[in-house]
Amino acid sequence: MEIAPDEPRLASLNSNNVLQTISPALLDARQLAGQGDTSGALAVYRSLFNGCQPPDSLANEYYLIIAGDRSLLPQAAQALEQRTNLQPEDAQTRLALGKVLTHQEATRRDGITILSAMADANPDADRLWRQALLWMAAQEGDSSLYQDYQARHPTDTGVMEYFRKNVGGDAKGEGFSTAEQR
């Protein structure tokens, strides 16, 4: 039996063979990442992959580490979005994308949308959804995001209180500014 050189499963086999030989370095990279040494972890990952794309089995992990470097976060989000488009049924990649998008205010609402859609079936998505809502600079137009969370978690009043306090806080601040200008 002959195998075509462009057979996708061949790349997966090659990746698995590479992983078996790089396990100690991979453990080092994970340890560095766990200690918060993003640049050190990235250096080890990059040496493991020899300048190539990470193998499928490590891609989400790698892009989550990249996202730990603010300057590389857009690159991580773009790579995870591409992976999600290629593999829309891959829940772990969607979870990683949702998580990465919540790291910046400009994309936080997109991440919240992804995480809230996954929350019923994924406790990690549910936890990250809550966290992102508490990180967000809440605006009046965000009320549906907070109400959706409250509907799913009726006993968790902290998230809705955060929304009310912060939206009300903005309005109060604007009121004081207007009063001072008079």
Q: What is the pLDDT along the chain (182 residues), one digit of tens a residue?
A: 444 444 444 344 445 555 555 588 999 999 999 999 999 999 999 999 888 889 999 999 999 999 999 999 999 999 999 999 999 999 999 999 999 999 999 999 999 999 999 999 999 999 999 999 999 999 999 999 999 999 999 999 999 999 999 997 544 444 433 433 44
Paired tokens of 164: 């009310």
118 touches 88 (CB < 8 A): no
Q: What is the CA radius of gyration of the chain?
A: 21
pLDDT score, position 103: 95
pLDDT score, position 95: 98
Query: What's the sign of the alpha-carbon dihedral 166, 121, 85, 52?
Result: positive
d(CA 99, CA 115): 8
